[in-house]
């Protein structure tokens, strides 16, 4: 398995959780929404940790080729973390409209971010790093 395959599969799992979260909140089920938000945020933060604690440092250490997108990826992770905090406030306040508005923003950022990672970052990582070793380290996070 490649890093791209492994991490893209995790993107899809996060995307599915996010879609379920939006549906639950849209239906007015805020208790379920709070629980689902906790699970989604935990999954996303774990995904970021796999990248920021394993893949990005390893990529930076090997030189990463002529183009190194890790700084941009981390900046976008920070944007998403800020949106998570706002989404948490909205779901805890049972504010459906605020939540759904913020979720549109998050969806846009996630889609753009995932595309960059899947089309560039992960391919570069696979080209420069021992995929099996990196995947194992990420699984241990």
Residues 26-82 pLDDT 10s:
999 999 999 999 999 999 999 999 999 999 999 988 876 566 789 999 999 999 999
Range of the domain at 90: 3-139
- For the record, the structure tokens of 131 come out as 């995929």
pTM of this prediction exceeds 0.85: yes
Domain count within the chain: 1
* Count of helix runs (H) and strand runs (E) in the chain: 7, 0
Give the SS3 label for residue 87.
helix
For residue 34, the domain's CATH number is 1.20.120.520
d(CA 116, CA 67) in angstroms, rounded, equals: 13
């Amino acid at each position: 398995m490649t890093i791209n395959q492994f991490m893209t599969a995790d993107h899809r799992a996060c995307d599915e959780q996010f879609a379920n979260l939006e549906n639950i909140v849209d239906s007015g089920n805020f208790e379920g929404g709070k629980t689902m938000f906790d699970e989604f945020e935990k999954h996303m933060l774990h995904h970021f940790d796999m990248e920021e604690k394993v893949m990005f440092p390893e990529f930076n250490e090997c030189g990463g080729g002529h183009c190194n997108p890790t700084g941009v990826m981390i900046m976008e992770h920070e944007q998403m973390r800020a949106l998570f905090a706002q989404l948490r406030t909205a779901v805890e306040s049972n504010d459906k409209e605020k939540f759904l508005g913020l979720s549109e923003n998050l969806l846009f950022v996630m889609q753009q971010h995932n595309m960059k990672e899947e089309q560039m970052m992960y391919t570069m990582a696979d080209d420069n790093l021992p995929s099996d070793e990196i995947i194992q380290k990420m699984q241990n996070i």
